Amino acid sequence: NAGVMQNPRHLVRRRGQEARLRCSPMKGHSHVYWYRQLPEEGLKFMVYLQKENIIDESGMPKERFSAEFPKEGPSILRIQQVVRGDSAAYFCASSNHPGDTEAFFGQGTRLTVV
């Protein structure tokens, strides 16, 4: 029973490039959340998606960041024109029913912008 799968585990991008982070939720889970963790800090909510819908994107920066969770395939967090300040660990979580059931996290993608 595979858990939440994120890839890649580590990603290095030059300033100005695009970063694509992928998240496959646990089997049977249709709710996906993305969080960002800056070095030595806690996890900050970015976006909550259900299949094909963005439910809450209140934590997403207004520019350069986007997320999707298509009917088929993993959820994607996309960062365009990356800057050094985007360097962080990005975690994905999934749950069966938000608020009523346990959420599980993937191992994260560590993005380094050089």
Partner 1 sequence: GIQVEQSPPDLILQEGANSTLRCNFSDSVNNLQWFHQNPWGQLINLFYIPSGTKQNGRLSATTVATERYSLLYISSSQTTDSGVYFCAVYTGTASKLTFGTGTRLQVTL
Residues interacting with partner 1, by CB under 8 A?
33, 35, 42-45, 48, 55-56, 59, 89, 91, 93, 98-105, 107-108, 110
Q: How far is the CB of 48 from partner 1 (least distance, A)?
A: 5
Percentage helix, strand, coil for the chain under 3-state DSSP, each rounded to 5:
5, 50, 50
Using the minimum distance from each CB to partner 1, give the nearer residue, 10 or 15: 10
CA-wise closest residue to 7 among 21, 17, 18, 25:
21
Q: How far is the CB of 41 from partner 1 (least distance, A)?
A: 8
Using the minimum distance from each CB to partner 1, give the nearer residue, 25 or 108: 108
Are the beta carbons of 22 and 70 closer than 8 angstroms? no
